[in-house]
Structure 1
Amino acid sequence: MGILNVTPDSFSDGGRFLSRDAAIARAEQMLADGADMIDIGGESTRPGAPPVPLDEELERVVPIVEALRATRVPISVDTYKPAVMRAVLDAGADMINDIWGFRQEGALDVVKDSHCGLCVMHMLGEPRTMQVHEPIYEDVVADVRAFFVERIDALARAGIVKERISLDPGYGFGKTVEHNYLLLARLTGTLPARSDFPLLAGMSRKSMLGAVTGRGAGERVAASIGAAVIAAERGASIIRVHDVAPTVDALKVWQATKDVAVDGHH
């Protein structure tokens, strides 16, 4: 999943792809580099980010969804606002990636009658304050799993079939560095019992990588690739990244090794 931020203030590439033409060119480059889907975001959710007015988010995102429809690639939109969900689904989006896990009032009403995919992310607190106070968990893996169980039940009550749902433990969203690495090490431990929901891992360029490498956001490509391969090895089905080409190369090597091990004849 290639990340397309059409925001002026995202922590990693804010402001670079604001213009419609630049955003579309960026998406086409990611597809050429091997992305299977594009995740469009019109509001930064980095720690401390200010909220974006609804009209502004719609102006940023809807034209990009409409323009990318022609590529036939699956399009995800990273939003928690029901009005944005409605507009991008009308424009042809295939998936809603919601950092609030469809907890905002009206969100479930918007998505329940469509056929779009839904990514439910775990977040402790809210973006503006989630990293201000030290996040506290009884057991971060169990707590994230319990949250997923609750949200899956809520979606089921709204009539949403489980085949539409994927889950994201929310790296960096109200977690310490240690919490993030526990969630990576025990990724499938976040899955509800006897379930096989696809897991999305989004660690690309995040501060959890800077914490162990000492590198700034623009210098975390190698660390991001390492995290992506580990996430795949630990059971992630969707890897959300800024740097598509090198990540695809690394995952091809991982996949080839896995195929040979499964095949067992070589």
Structure 2
Amino acid sequence: MPQHVYIRPIGLVPGPQSEHGNAIRLAGSMAYASRFAVILRRDGDIVERWLAAPDTMAQVLGALPDEVGADAEAQWANLTLAHPPLQLGPRSVALDQPQVMGILNVTPDSFSDGGRYLDDRAAGREHAAAMVEAGAAIIDVGGESTRPGAKALWEGDEIERVVPAIEDCVAMGAAVSIDTRKAAVMEAALEAGAHLVNDVSGLAHDPRSAEVVAGAGCPVVLMHAPGAAGEDLHEGGDYDLVAFDVFDALRARRDAALDAGIEARNILLDVGIGFGKSLGENLALVNALPLFHALGHPLLFGASRKRMIGALSKEAPADERLGGSIALALEAMRCGVQMVRVHDVAETVQARNVWRGLRDAALTDFSDLPG
């Protein structure tokens, strides 16, 4: 009977002082954790659950079955792993604070802003410049809608959409990612100057994509989608325990990327909010975000303007979901996520800066305590 172990941080604190030093900094982020659930799963079911703190973790891990002991030790090490900056051409993006990725869709049918920048190159260039000026670390250019029910796009048409936008962003000095699941589009985008590949299929859709990324030596975001290998990314979302199932699936895609020659330092992970997941499953994943640091890679989080916000706010349309988008971005930051992908860059950067001010101040909140 196969067994799997998971170390889930469940006690987030403002800083180590509040726990007299008995807390860890999660993945080099501005989040700290003092309590953890060590969970043993067998044949899909949770069979044991222990609570631990940093000073008792060794004892708990030492009592685990031999089959999962090495994995548990690796996960514990990953939770304290500080990630180096992302190298994106001449730009270096530090991951010791949350960074903001701005979305530039050059599509006619994306759920939020489809069509706005497809036929008006100048408007797209102006929007990208405004996002960079507002503090976006990366501009994410996408030419194919991935909303539920969207039709697949021929790669030639996708290339025709994204290359001019990428060239414009590169010309203004921006770091650029290409949001695609097609190897030919990746190649054209990287040739046009893109620095990072953001693949919603986790390199599962196109059999050549991992080879392209490995050959380019560029960073890549591996996102979870249940239908990643087929045409419909949202198909097949059937989970026993969604957080652990997505954890296992991302680990498998990560391992496949490593086997293809992609360097570990170039891999980021994304739980895939909204892709083949119900409202309850999306909420469970947001609550479980700290767990995914145990995989040992920076995390990207994308929930901006998504359907779950409308479902929780009287079916507000996509362009009226700013408040919910900010709330989810801040929760992701609290969980130590290194990058949030958003439509509303200026508002998110402002929220991030205020949040960071609070975090910085929290590091001295307990300086008057004895000992």
TM-score after normalising by structure 2: 0.68
C-alpha displacement at 1:155, in angstroms?
A: 1.2
Report the counterpart of residue 153 of structure 1 in structure 2.
255
CA distance in 1, matches of 2:364, 2:220: 33
Q: How does 1:103-122 map to 2 (within 5 A)?
A: 103=204, 104-122=206-224
Between 225-234 and 149-158, the greater mean CA deviation after superposition = 149-158
Percent identical among aligned pairs is 44
Alignment counterpart, residue 209 of structure 1, candidates 287, 309, 328: 309
CA distance in 1, matches of 2:317, 2:341: 19
1:43 aligns with 2:144: yes
The structure whose Rg is larger is: 2
1:65 aligns with 2:159: no
Query: Secondary structure of the equivalent of 2:274?
Result: coil
CA distance in 1, matches of 2:344, 2:166: 21
C-alpha displacement at 1:263, in angstroms?
A: 3.8
C-alpha displacement at 1:188, in angstroms?
A: 2.2
Report the counterpart of residue 27 of structure 2 in structure 1.
none
C-alpha displacement at 1:128, in angstroms?
A: 6.5
Query: Secondary structure of the equivalent of 2:363?
Result: helix
Report the counterpart of residue 222 of structure 1 in structure 2.
323
Cα gap change, 1:177/1:112 in structure 2, threshold over 3 Å: closer, same or farther?
same
Report the counterpart of residue 260 of structure 1 in structure 2.
361
Report the counterpart of residue 14 of structure 2 in structure 1.
none
Cα gap change, 1:57/1:169 in structure 2, threshold over 3 Å: closer, same or farther?
same
Query: Secondary structure of the equivalent of 2:312?
Result: helix
CA distance in 1, matches of 2:289, 2:354: 21
1:94 aligns with 2:195: yes
C-alpha displacement at 1:96, in angstroms?
A: 0.4
Q: Contact between 1:93 and 1:116, CA under 8 Å: does it hold in 2?
A: no
Cα gap change, 1:11/1:117 in structure 2, threshold over 3 Å: closer, same or farther?
same
Cα gap change, 1:261/1:3 in structure 2, threshold over 3 Å: closer, same or farther?
same
Report the counterpart of residue 104 of structure 2 in structure 1.
4
Report the counterpart of residue 349 of structure 2 in structure 1.
248
Between 62-71 and 113-122, the greater mean CA deviation after superposition = 62-71
Cα deviation, 1:139-159, whole Å, max 9, x if unaligned, reads: 111111111111111111112
CA distance in 1, matches of 2:269, 2:138: 16
C-alpha displacement at 1:54, in angstroms?
A: 1.3
CA distance in 1, matches of 2:261, 2:226: 26
Q: Contact between 2:226 and 2:234, CA under 8 Å: does it hold in 1?
A: no
CA distance in 2, matches of 1:52, 1:5: 14
Letter in 1 for 2:260: A
Cα deviation, 1:170-223, whole Å, max 9, x if unaligned, reads: 0000000011011101112234x4x43111110000001111112111110011
Q: Contact between 1:144 and 1:190, CA under 8 Å: does it hold in 2?
A: no
C-alpha displacement at 1:70, in angstroms?
A: 2.1
Q: Contact between 1:166 and 1:200, CA under 8 Å: does it hold in 2?
A: yes
CA distance in 2, matches of 1:188, 1:57: 35
Cα RMSD (Å) of the superposition?
1.7
C-alpha displacement at 1:260, in angstroms?
A: 1.1
Q: How does 1:51-200 map to 2 (within 5 A)?
A: 51-103=152-204, 104-125=206-227, 129=232, 135-191=237-293, 193=294, 195-200=295-300
C-alpha displacement at 1:71, in angstroms?
A: 2.2
Q: Contact between 2:326 and 2:348, CA under 8 Å: does it hold in 1?
A: yes
Structure 1 or 2: more helix by fraction: 1
CA distance in 2, matches of 1:110, 1:6: 23
Q: Contact between 1:33 and 1:244, CA under 8 Å: does it hold in 2?
A: yes
CA distance in 1, matches of 2:234, 2:258: 31
- Structure 2, unaligned runs of 5 or more: 1-100
C-alpha displacement at 1:40, in angstroms?
A: 0.3
C-alpha displacement at 1:48, in angstroms?
A: 0.5
CA distance in 2, matches of 1:259, 1:149: 32
Q: Contact between 1:77 and 1:96, CA under 8 Å: does it hold in 2?
A: yes
